[in-house]
Chains A and B, each alone.
Chain A
Amino acid sequence: MRPATNARAGSGDEIDPRRVWLGVAGELWRREPSHVERLASRLLRSAGLARALVITPSLMLSWLVASLVVITVGAVATAATGTPFVALFAPPVAACGIAFAYGPGIDPAWELARSTAVDDRLVLLVRALVVFALNALIGVLATLASSAARSGLTAGAGSGGAQAVGSVTYGWLLPMTAICLLSLATSALLGSSSAGLVAGLGGWALAVVGGRAADGAFTAAVTDPGWRLVYLSMALCCGAVAVFALRGVRGPR
């Protein structure tokens, strides 16, 4: 280890080789941000927040590929059978992503990050929003694809666009929002991503089993309009709990 001031001292007309080396080393070791990070940096107006976003565990390529595979299988199964598997798969996949977006045990340097100027509630919010948006996008594409394939199989013409939008909005977007907020609220309240994961998956399993018990079909959780009010109430309650739990994440009060 070397003294700090020599490295940073300006020395008038004389050339300080150490200072020169630091300039060279800084350029040599500099990491070139990806296009996505640069864009995020511009949008978020914070290079730190952008960097925190691009290293989100549930936005890593392997995670995204796994999510894509699950939803694609759902889309193929939906197209082949007519059973809304995309709607059944999308909420728990997104809930897992939300649970693994941020927190102790997920971010190795979480404690250290909490002592830095970039607000960790903002990190969580940005990460959760991006994870949700990406999963929603994958879900929409899968729904449209399976819907188009299905209408091609049954009618030979593509009139399923409006139906697909309806099934997206009421079929899985609302349950997905509710289950994601359940996962987020549980993670924030208990400070554990695993707890968030269990709550998300468990909550969805209960909804599916409950739907089957009430209507006799395991797809009732995404097809029965009666569930919409349940999901909406659940989303509001879990959102409120998440806000309550996160109010103390930052700041020493």
Chain B
Amino acid sequence: MNVDIKDVTRKFGSAQAVAGVSWVAGAGVHGLLGPNGAGKTTLLRMMATVIGPTSGTLRLLDRDPGAHPQCREIRRRLGYLPQNLGYYPGFTIAEFVEYFALLKDMPPNRVPAAVASAIEQVGLGDKARAKLRTLSGGMLRRVGIAQAIVNDPHLLLLDEPTAGLDPEQRVAFRTMLREIGERATVVISTHLVEDVAAACSEVVLMNAGRLVFRGTPRDLVARGASVVGDGGSGDSPLERGYAAVLAEARR
């Protein structure tokens, strides 16, 4: 399995961000849903090997990220888009994506074609030589996605990837995710349930650091349908399912 998490916790001082999460995920697109402060970003950062767990075990791409050589191998096959994408304003799009291709240890002779492919995939081919400081928020998000996919990752972790994308771009992005999900594990953390409905084969819902639901989008819809009579909230069936699971978890 590409992601194998057992009883993972993560504390920041006295605050417990992730409280005993166990999760196994193979190829496919997995949506990580939850309210603010649920621990989604912390879980994603642990999977991105940016921070380590306080306790529990984590195996990624059948390797132990705590062991240095294995961690390096994981990182070579990892794509990560953090919630806040830091960027170098003076870099062009191509330079930025190339920088991360090099940091991911890609063979230098493969880098130019991979950079061009990633930039084309996010639809920024006509802006490849534009400086990052001249781009809109949505375009910067797409640059972030381009650097995440430049190494053709086996594990792709995206934190709020569709923030700032227009509806057309969002639809194209979901298509791309589905396609990557056929051969890799894609985890997207999002607040937008329509992204989950359209792109994800599995939904994982977190609340207060715990995993409170795991199933298909259809399963989540079914959870919402069962509580509509009790005044379940949400505009779409998936939102109603989301609200129902959260309400149950908070009881």
Contact = CB atoms under 8 A, between A and B. Distances in A.
Interface of A: 1-5, 7-8, 21-23, 25-31, 46-48, 51-52, 55, 107-119, 250-253
B56 to A, nearest CB: 11
B121 A1 contact: yes
A182 to B, nearest CB: 26
Interface residues of B, number: 64
Given A27-B112, A110-B86, A112-B86, A251 B52 contact: yes
B88 A55 contact: yes
B175 interface: yes
Nearest to A7: B117
Contacts of B94: 29-31
B65 interface: yes
A154 B152 CA distance: 68
Contact of B72 (A21, A31, A117): A117
B105 interface: yes
Contacts of A29: 92, 94, 112, 115-116, 119, 128-129
A106 to B, nearest CB: 10
Interface string B129-142: 10000000000001
Contacts of A3: 121, 175-176, 179
B73 to A, nearest CB: 8
A252 B52 contact: yes
A7 B121 contact: yes
Contacts of A113: 100, 103
A187 to B, nearest CB: 17
Interface in B6-61: 45-46, 48-53, 58
Nearest to A107: B86
Contacts of A118: 102-105
24 contacts: A1-B172, A2-B120, A3-B175, A4-B152, A4-B179, A25-B116, A25-B120, A26-B113, A26-B117, A29-B129, A30-B112, A51-B102, A52-B103, A55-B99, A109-B85, A111-B84, A112-B100, A113-B100, A116-B103, A118-B105, A250-B71, A252-B49, A252-B50, A252-B51
